[in-house]
Amino acid sequence: MRVLVTGSNGLIGRAVLAFLTAEGHTVFCLTRPQSRHQDRMIHWDPVAGSINKGELENFDAVVHLAGETIVGRWTPAKKARILDSRVKGTRLLCESLANLNERPPVLVAASAVGYYGDGGDKLMTEESSVGSLYLSGVTKAWEEATWPARASGIRVVNLRIGFVLSKASGGLAAMLLPFKLGLGGRVGSGRQYLSWIAIDDVVGVIAHAIRTDTLHGPVNAVAPNPVTNREFTKALGSVLGRPTIFPMPVFAAHLAMGEMADNLLLASARVDPVRLRETAYEFKCPDIRGALRHVLGRN
């Protein structure tokens, strides 16, 4: 296949690029001109709204992962970049794909379980309503920006990705040092749910979405066994062989991260991957301890 990937410098993008290349597919990266990639690049500038539409013809699939990182202090400017990079970039890409002579059959577009907001103990499915947090509004607008592609007949899969487990970068990688030093612990009450997924399964789900013609619309890209923050903390400490006796109180989370704490650390997302189960996706890492052992090389 000829596959076009955006966000190829990110955690998921790098893994997808390596996987598709290893399988023998021809992969092109849609990147800004200053990107580190040298081969098979197509340039765009989602901020300026520029893209060479002629170079987008004749792809078998597009994987859209680009977006401003949500890590960092959420100033008004940062929040605007988080929203605009997702909505404007997605709309530009989807309008461009919709106007091609040879449109790709499928677009797999990143979204996030932040769509559901703070759901407490309620089990969320793809049919659940949007939440009320900042990231809920962002992900709703992000998914809606794919409409031009869907309206043109492209099969669009909106992957609502959970907390990605990888030691390369991302949230888990940032947690490793304090946990290895024995300074880890639950956040707040620890009762809030975390819907997670190992990086190998993120890549597997994307490949599954490309080849499964019946899959479209929102798809929860999470493992089938969400855990509470307390359970996750204990599992990580156990895998690392370290105690987890230093909890982070709510006020400390707010002091350190501000609004981001409410959206990422304290919100409860108990999410069920219904559509992956219905289309017979087989998870490589279905339980948290096994997943942590795998991604951290502790097997």
How far, CA to CA in Å, does 237 sit from each of 171, 184, 241, 289? 15, 8, 6, 10
Q: Are 159 and 94 in contact (CB under 8 A)?
A: no
Q: Are 197 and 221 in contact (CB under 8 A)?
A: yes
Please give the Cα distance from 89 to 112 (Å, whole number): 16
Query: For 13-26, what is each residue's pLDDT tens digit?
Result: 999 999 999 999 99
Share of the chain above pLDDT 70, in %: 96
In CATH, the architecture of 2-164+195-222+270-283 is 3-Layer(aba) Sandwich (3.40)
Query: For 222-244, what is each residue's pLDDT tens digit?
Result: 999 999 999 999 999 999 999 89
What are the structure tokens assigned to 226, written together? 């969400």
Query: For 81-117, what is each residue's pLDDT tens digit?
Result: 999 999 999 999 999 999 999 999 999 999 999 999 9
Please give the Cα distance from 226 to 165 (Å, whole number): 13
Which of 168, 183, 268, 170 has the alpha carbon at shortest distance from 227? 268
| pLDDT of 36 over the 80 cut | no
Q: Which three-class secondary structure state does DSSP give residue 119?
A: coil
Query: For 171-227, what is each residue's pLDDT tens digit?
Result: 888 888 988 989 888 998 899 999 999 999 999 999 999 999 999 999 999 999 999
| pLDDT of 278 over the 80 cut | yes
Q: What is the reported pTM?
A: 0.94
